[in-house]
Amino acid sequence: MAAAGLLVIGLTGMRSPMVSTGVGVALGTKPDLAVADADVERREFMLQQRRDAEVLLEQFIRGQMTRHYWGHFAGSLTDLGLSSGKHLEATVTSTALGSGLLLKPKRGEEAYGAGVRQRGSRVVRWQCRGQLPTQDQSLSFLDGCPKGWQKIASKQF
């Protein structure tokens, strides 16, 4: 009796259409490998862009801390001997008390920022990422990460 019940369940399972939880085969259709490849390529590009941006943020912070030691913050990446490359647009804002960097990607929706500021006798730093700002939105990194942005852990110097 139990064997007959298992046989019915097994046959029912074999006749049911296949259901997938991923990109693969769903309801007996063939996967669209071009879409899956494009998605993987997009993700890889975004991860590499994030890595490149985080390296540049660290270099900016180190450079600005060194420049501050010698008397003032640098006004551009060129003054620090840095370049944003071809995939990121960089904007540096500097005052006597601090400096900020905004990196906007030419492709993607995630922007990156860093700041260095003198607070009393100390120099503090931070770096963060968040939603790419709109044309009319102004962001400042002179007093910390903008509202809604995620702080990125920085390496200890």
Element (H, E) at 4: helix 2-15
Element (H, E) at 66: helix 33-69
pTM score over 0.75: no
Q: What is the pLDDT of residue 69?
A: 85
Which are the contacts of 122, defined by CB distance < 8 A and separation ≥ 6?
Answer: none
Q: What is the pLDDT of residue 70?
A: 85
Question: Which among 72, 152, 71 has a CA at the least distance from the CA of 114?
Answer: 152
Q: What distance in Å separates the CA atoms of residue 7 and residue 107, rounded to the nearest whole number? A: 55
Question: Which among 79, 73, 77 has a CA at the least distance from the CA of 90?
Answer: 77
Q: What distance in Å separates the CA atoms of residue 19 and residue 137, rounded to the nearest whole number? A: 44
Three-state DSSP class for 111? strand
Tens-digit pLDDT profile for residues 7-38: 556 656 556 555 444 554 455 566 788 888 88
The amino acid present at 77, given as its one-letter code, is L
Tens-digit pLDDT profile for residues 77-132: 999 999 998 889 999 998 888 999 999 998 888 999 999 998 888 888 999 999 98
Average pLDDT for 35-44: 85
Cβ atoms of 80 and 132 closer than 8 Å: no
